[in-house]
Chain A
Amino acid sequence: MAHTDPVKVGVLYSETGVTSSIESSQLFGTLFAIDQINEAGGINGREIVSVRYDPRSEPAIYAVLAERLITGDNVKVIFGCYMSSTRKAVIPVVERWNRLLFYSTLYEGFEFSEHLIYTGAAPNQNSVQLAEFMTSTFGPRVYLVGSNYIYPYESNRIMADLVSQHPGGEKVGERYVPLDATERDFADVLNDIRNVQPDFIFSTVVGNATQNLYRAYAKAGFDPARLPIGSLTTTEVEIAQMGAEIATGHYTSAPYFQSIDNDINRACLARFRERFGERAAPNACWEAAYFQVHLFANAMRASGSENIDVLMPHLLGASFDAPQGQVRIEPSNHHAYLYPRIGLANPHGQFTIVRETRDAVYPDPYLVTHALGDWALRMNQVEG
């Protein structure tokens, strides 16, 4: 192969289906990074070319398309997946063909594959911080509402565990709705919430249904100042879908928000808007999708090949100055050191950051019992 041949990479983010909006933002984060790398001369002079398909938010289609990318298009590296079920569908494929998947979404932990790099938050990088903040600010009685799949089950287990460590803390309700839930599906849940009067709601609702929960909440007349929703998955994308007015007053725990005040982030956002305008709202999943392509390109510059066996040693331990801060891949578990933050949704459709960490937090995907209080000392209040 000549050294000027393009480097083909696979891209699997859904542009249709239940998680189309958030995954489209990951798609644009990926394409943006590829553009940037190509404009700067590619990888050792080789252009990155993306081969992209729409898996339509369906796990089985992810598996089929991952196979097509590998056997038909001969890609060695795939960027993609949002829901855990879609990642689980792709893992056997990349393992069978000895290929590499970059996964840029927060998830529930308890996984490791030699064939993955995980750049989204593990529970010790978002759930613990959210539990700490919500219980200390609003009280320890939580109501859990989630989409009906594995990430919410396991995330809710962790949250229930965390609040129970707080005096008087308990899970007062736990409900699941379909992935394509409508406002009507949430009306019933909200009635129950009115009856049991929790201190806060933990939402693990994902994708396009998220807006319906917050809308139903607003229509039911609840007050975020007294009973807010805390989430790990309600990002700037979901807020754009529901409207700033509906979102204001609710909280999200994530390593990245558009509102992060540093030069790298500001420059990155400006360049993104120049190129893609308002086609996607930058958010934590967008940022991870963006920086993981740079991690890949840097590793391949050093290895000279995109074959997983030669590429991986250059990825493990690699760091990158991402918009959230300097991130690094932990060699022992292939997850990323990230910067937990708590954001309060504001009337401008953005998050006001109310807590943040100074140092990147080690990813610990196999932690069963998280301790409330560990992070209190390390999260700093941000002056408004």
Chain B
Amino acid sequence: MRSANGSTQDGGKQPSTRASPQVLRDLRSLHVCVFHPHDRDGELLTQQLQRIGCRVHCFWPPLRAPVPGSDLVFIGLYPDTMGHDFAWCDADDAPPVVAVVNYENPTIIDAVLRVGAKAIVASPVRSFGVLSALVLARQISGDLKRMKKRVSRLEERVGAARKIAEAQEILVRQRGISKLEAYKAIRDQAMGKRVPLEDIASAIVTADEVLSSGR
């Protein structure tokens, strides 16, 4: 294990100055929806989640969608249950899924991928492993959400930069000014009208398209 200053020690946990991760501190406030047949595995799973301190709601057959406000959903994905409709999993804001499986062949693994599971619990269910699966699924799904947000913000920025470059070129062509002067012209307009640069750039590009299509 590597400590904060980069030195290594053989074995043993380094004292951490970090507080417990948020995902662990949240456990007691979690609403967990369980779609699992009411059998021994379903019972053990529900009990373990309750032991952990989550608020658990178990349903079988599965509802058309998890109870609103669910932070996490466990799905029993067995040969005789994988045919149920779990279409809600496709939604962008669907809660993270942990699949409970008793087979590990490609048919079942494909079903696991289709519900977008972020972690697995093996059947027969043991108390050990449920907490880790729950935390991992929450962490991965949170990371993914943050990543997606970041990507879309970056996409917007790249789009804006492209628009501005396009507008600059139009101004360079039409007015015979330099690229830098074109940029300044766009910026002055934006500042005067108190709107973002890319709005002005968009207006220039659109106007140019209208004018050139009329030719």
Spell out A's residues near B (CB within 8 Å): 84-85, 88, 92, 108-111, 149-150, 153-154, 157, 368
Contacts and interface: CB of A to CB of B under 8 A. Distances in A.
* Residue with the greatest number of chain A CB neighbours at <10 A, chosen from B80, B104, B105, B124: B105
Contacts of B106: 110, 154, 157, 368
Summarize B's interface: helix, strand, loop or mixed.
Answer: loop
Contact of A157 (B80, B107, B124): B107
22 contacts: A84-B103, A85-B79, A88-B102, A88-B103, A92-B124, A108-B105, A109-B105, A110-B104, A110-B106, A111-B103, A149-B79, A149-B80, A150-B79, A150-B103, A150-B107, A150-B108, A153-B79, A154-B105, A154-B106, A154-B107, A157-B107, A368-B106
A108 B205 CA distance: 60
Contact of A110 (B79, B80, B103, B124): B103
B119 to A, nearest CB: 20
B199 to A, nearest CB: 51
Given A150-B105, A154-B106, 5 more contacts: A84-B103, A88-B103, A150-B107, A153-B79, A157-B107
Contacts of A150: 79, 103, 105, 107-108
Contacts of B104: 110-111
Nearest to B103: A150
A240 B104 CA distance: 35
B133 to A, nearest CB: 19
Contacts of B107: 150, 153-154, 157
B110 to A, nearest CB: 8
A111 B101 CA distance: 13
Contacts of A84: 103
Interface in B77-122: 79-80, 102-108
Contacts of A111: 103-105
Interface of B: 79-80, 102-108, 124
A95 to B, nearest CB: 9
A54 B102 CA distance: 24
B48 to A, nearest CB: 17
3 A-B pairs with least C-beta separation: A110-B105, A150-B79, A154-B107
* Residue with the greatest number of chain A CB neighbours at <10 A, chosen from B79, B102, B124: B79
Contacts of B80: 149
A88 B104 CA distance: 11
A98 to B, nearest CB: 15
A128 to B, nearest CB: 15
B101 to A, nearest CB: 11
Contacts of B102: 88
Nearest to B80: A149
Contacts of B103: 84, 88, 110-111, 150
Nearest to A112: B104
A88 B41 CA distance: 14
A154 B109 CA distance: 11
A88 B105 CA distance: 13
Contacts of A85: 79
A160 to B, nearest CB: 11
Contacts of B108: 150
Nearest to B39: A60
A88 B101 CA distance: 12
A157 B106 CA distance: 8
A111 B105 CA distance: 8
Contacts of B79: 85, 149-150, 153
A271 B71 CA distance: 65
A165 to B, nearest CB: 16
A154 B106 CA distance: 7
A111 B124 CA distance: 15
A149 B106 CA distance: 14
Contacts of A154: 105-107
Nearest to A88: B102
A90 to B, nearest CB: 12
A118 to B, nearest CB: 14
B47 to A, nearest CB: 18
Nearest to A153: B107
A62 to B, nearest CB: 14
Nearest to B78: A150
Nearest to B104: A110
A149 B108 CA distance: 12
A153 to B, nearest CB: 5
A111 B107 CA distance: 13
* Residue with the greatest number of chain B CB neighbours at <10 A, chosen from A153, A157, A368: A153
A150 B82 CA distance: 11
Contacts of B105: 108-111, 150, 154
Contacts of A109: 105
Contacts of A110: 103-106
Nearest to B111: A153
Nearest to A150: B79
A368 B109 CA distance: 11
Nearest to B82: A153
A108 B106 CA distance: 10
A155 B24 CA distance: 42
Nearest to A156: B107
B76 to A, nearest CB: 14
A92 to B, nearest CB: 5
A252 B79 CA distance: 25
A149 B80 CA distance: 7
A384 to B, nearest CB: 37
A88 to B, nearest CB: 6
